[in-house]
Amino acid sequence: MSLGTIYTKIAAGEATRTRALLPERLIKYFKINVKVSDPDEVFPAKFPMKLVPAFQFPDGTLLSESLPINLFLLQQVENHGGLLGDNSQKAWAQNLQWMEFINNDFMRPSGQVFGMIVGRKPFNQDVFNFFMNELRNVAVPVIEKHLDESEYLTGSAVSIADLYAATMFLRPLGYFMDEEWRSQLPRTMEWWEKVSKHPVFDNFFADLQMVDKFTPPN
């Protein structure tokens, strides 16, 4: 029986929605019985934020937010390849910690910067500088320092937190995390190269063109 419907905006011609990428890949890779759908005309009434991913259970219960959706999907897989560590409460909490950090402290400024670069958000120099500063001087250094001490985000093996975090580098690497910046992040880039080749992604990142030199808008 189907576990429900996930809304992702994966339709042809639509740009990948970063947060919808991992749930869609988990469903395909682990063959989880979930219908993948684009938002329909009743989507905004069900999910007023109109954001993906979003999930609906067969009984009509709604679930939004990428963290619980990814974790729920993975829990449906008997052999999830150690992606939840040893399944302990500590491993669960560590995964949640890193996913939350990436979604909030990394992805929030990154989304603002990306939005202004591609014109989805009105450009404002001070706001742009503020979020770029958060990324360059706070969030990214936290990741680099952590990966200098730990092979993966939650220890010595790849976890759901790594897979989730790797997807969030899609736009930064493609648009503004240029060669000069990447050269200051040896551990992060080494980690990303490994995690992005995880079979769950099925070579998705092989086509990613990393930006050479980023010229900030003004």
Cα 62 to the center of its chain, rounded Å:
21
Question: Between helices 107-117 and 125-134, what is the axis angle to 10°?
Answer: 140
**Closest to ligand GSH by CB, 18 or 95:** 18
- Exactly one of 4, 6, 18, 189 binds ligand GSH (CB under 6 A); that residue is 18
Interface of this chain with ligand GSH, residues 96 to 135, rule: CB under 6 A? 103
From the list 10, 30, 43, 65, which residue makes contact with ligand GSH (rule: CB under 6 A)? 65
Minimum CB separation of residue 151 from ligand GSH in Å reads 26
Residue 161 and residue 97: Cα distance in Å, rounded?
Answer: 9
- Least Cβ distance, residue 7 to ligand GSH (angstroms): 9
The distance of closest approach from Cβ of residue 178 to ligand GSH in the complex, given in angstroms and rounded to an integer, is 22
Q: Using the rule CB under 6 A, is 70 a contact of ligand GSH?
A: no
**Nearer to ligand GSH among residue 106 and residue 192 (C-beta):** 106
User: Under 8 Å CB-to-CB from 130, ≥6 apart: which residues?
Assistant: none
For the bound state, the minimum distance from the C-beta of residue 36 to ligand GSH, rounded and expressed in Å, comes to 15
Minimum distance from residue 208 beta carbon to ligand GSH (Å): 16
Q: Is 199 helix (H, G, I), strand (E, B) or coil?
A: helix
Q: Please state, as a whole number, how many other Cβ atoms lie within 10 Å of the Cβ of residue 112.
A: 20
Q: Would you say 35 and 27 are in contact if contact means Cβ atoms under 8 Å apart?
A: no
- Comparison of 128 and 164: residue with beta carbon closer to ligand GSH: 164
Instruction: Answer yes or no whether residue 159 interacts with ligand GSH by CB under 6 A.
Output: no
Nearer to ligand GSH by Cβ, of 32 and 125: the residue is 32
Please tell me the distance from the alpha carbon of residue 100 to that of residue 151, in angstroms, as a whole number: 19
Whole-number Å distance between alpha carbons of 213 and 177: 8
Question: Hey, what are 95's tokens?
Answer: 């995964």
**Shortest CB 187 distance to ligand GSH, Å:** 25
**Cα separation, 121 vs 130, whole angstroms:** 15
Q: Judged by CB under 6 A, does residue 73 bind ligand GSH?
A: no
End-to-end CA distance of the chain: 53
Using CB under 6 A, list all residues that contact ligand GSH: 17-19, 51-52, 65-66, 103
